Amino acid sequence: MDDLRKRARELLETSEVKVVIGYEQGTAGKTRALFVEKPEDTDKLIFDSRCVQNLAVYITKREVKDKGKMAIAATLPVMRSIIQLASEFQVNDNNLLVLGITPESKLVEFNSLTEVETFVHQYQIEIDARNKEMLDKLEKMTPSERWKFWTDELAPCFKCYACRAACPMCYCSRCTVDFNQPQWIPVPSHELGNLEWHIMRAIHLTGRCVDCDACYNACPLGIPLNLLTKKMVEEARANFGGYQPAIKGEHLMSTYKPDDKENFIQ
Amino acid sequence: MADFEPRIVAFVCNWCTYAGADLTGTSRIKYASNVRIVRFPCTGRIDYMLLLKAFAEGADGIIVSGCHPNDCHYTSGNFHARRRWIMFRSLCDFMGIDTRRIKFSWVSAAEGAKWADIVNATVASIRELGPYDDYKRVAKKPVKEVTHG
């Protein structure tokens, strides 16, 4: 991605931005996040199919924000996250410049977040075929089979919160799981605490999740916890016509329609 | 199973269902005593975590009830709650939590008889389903049959 390197260098040389967030070669054949502050370091920037980490997670971090205006190499899910964060007043045009990478791996630069929004709205949030199949399989099971599936899957979880750390939407400075008065969620790796944590995570991401799979990629145990948020994406579509992150849009779960339909309230 | 008495926790809003349940009492309508009523300012305040806590503490069934749509004391609390219930219930169902054990209803302050019906119907259906042992096992609660008066 020479375009990206070139543009990043220009931005840093002219001091238009203070830091460029991108990917660099990591260890063991993996890529990792890179924060470029000197023009000469832009040569380290790379972009390829291994770059799946959602970099939007860094733009709400104090230590990154404090450097000054940021530029970010953003793939489609990252751009969606940015728009969602903008709608939640976490970023704005004054502190963020988006260097978009299209699904065709082309570099596009956006002058404002509104332009990013227009771009991401060309694409719907789609659940990929493999996960769709998995969701269908689970939905066909009986409730007790699903219960068994999830208690088995969640049993090894030791609540390292890598899923939380990897998620751009989990930016609360104090998360519900960190509270101990009252202790909402038991701290040890315990079936109940694990279950409650994953329910809580899925609910808090309902209507906000952009389906980037960062949580699943971050999980050291490979728990398919992204299925929960995917299910919520599907349910949002089935019940409320779905959602798209939008800067000035209404949030799915903080709004309502007087004629919302359900069939279980007596 | 014969001596199994379901333990039901009812999360109700102060303005409609709580007053409705009060009316049930003042109307001298008899209903199952298995229910423990927890009063909330509004259905909008009934956090899904509280429902999970009820199950974790050994409830066999849950009733969540508040004002009918358009009757909310705070204008829109029940509309917000309804959206949350829709999503929460789907998630619970997807995770295999027995959603037959969570009953959602609208009971107004004038519907004392409806409240009695809801409680009686819930108790009857939970009695049929039996104790919620699956959840109790996960919550490390004793799963032996509990009898209480």
pLDDT of residue A11: 94
Confirm whether B39 is domain-assigned: yes
Residues A178-196 pLDDT 10s: 888 888 898 888 899 999 9
Confirm whether B32 is domain-assigned: yes
Cα-Cα-Cα-Cα torsion A97, A103, A107, A113, nearest 10 degrees, comes to -20
- DSSP class of A249: P
Residues of chain A with pLDDT under 70: none
Residues A51-104 pLDDT 10s: 999 999 999 999 999 999 999 999 999 999 999 999 999 999 999 999 999 988
**Contact residues, chain A, for B48 at CB < 8 Å:** 199, 203
Strands in chain B per DSSP E: 8-13, 35-40, 61-66, 102-106
Domain that holds residue B115: 8-138
**Contact residues, chain B, for A252 at CB < 8 Å:** 83
Tokens at residue A59, please?
């733009």
Chain B residues contacting A via beta carbons under 8 Å:
48-49, 52, 56, 69-70, 76, 79-80, 82-99, 103-106, 118, 134, 138-140
Q: Does A250 touch chain B (CB under 8 A)?
A: no
pLDDT of residue A181: 87
pLDDT of residue B140: 82
Tokens at residue A11, please?
């931005």
Q: Does A253 touch chain B (CB under 8 A)?
A: yes
pLDDT of residue B80: 94
Alpha carbons B25 and A159: distance in angstroms, whole number: 46
Alpha carbons B31 and A5: distance in angstroms, whole number: 73
Confirm whether B1 is domain-assigned: no
Total number of domains in chain B: 1
Q: What is the CATH number of the domain that holds B51?
A: 3.40.50
**Can you tell me the ipTM of this complex?**
0.90
Alpha carbons A225 and A241: distance in angstroms, whole number: 23
Confirm whether B27 is domain-assigned: yes
Per-residue pLDDT 10s for chain B (149 aa) are 568 899 999 999 999 999 999 999 999 999 999 999 999 999 999 999 999 999 999 999 999 999 999 999 999 999 999 999 999 999 999 999 999 999 999 999 999 999 999 999 999 999 999 999 999 988 888 776 555 54
pLDDT of residue A169: 95
Yes or no, beta carbons of B48 and A184 under 8 Å apart: no
Q: Which residue has the tokens 């509990």?
A: B146
Task: Report the predicted TM-score, pTM, of the whole model to 2 decimal places.
Answer: 0.91
